[in-house]
């Protein structure tokens, strides 16, 4: 299982949403979820 946290940097002001990506190899699963957590820009 691999877990990755991603911050998209499209905006220059305000709060940036935190995304989580979870991957399993057997069975093949790839999940991307936008969380309610934010980071200041």
What pLDDT does residue 11 have?
A: 67
What pLDDT does residue 15 have?
A: 85
At which residue do the structure tokens 């093949």 appear?
28
Task: Divide the 41 residues of the chain into consecutive groups of 10 and give the mean pLDDT of each group.
Answer: 85 83 92 89 76
pTM of the model: 0.67
Q: What domain range includes position 15?
A: 2-40
CA distance 26 to 9: 32
Instruction: Count structural domains, the chain.
Output: 1
Q: Which two tokens stand for residue 30?
A: 């790839």
Strand order in the sheet with 2-7: 2-7, 15-24, 29-40
Could you tell me if 14 and 33 are in contact, meaning their C-beta atoms sit under 8 angstroms apart?
no
Could you tell me if 34 and 19 are in contact, meaning their C-beta atoms sit under 8 angstroms apart?
yes
């Amino acid at each position: 299982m691999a877990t990755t946290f991603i911050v998209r940097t499209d905006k220059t002001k305000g709060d940036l949403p935190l995304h989580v990506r979870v991957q399993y190899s057997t069975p093949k699963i790839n999940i991307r979820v936008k969380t309610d957590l934010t980071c200041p820009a």
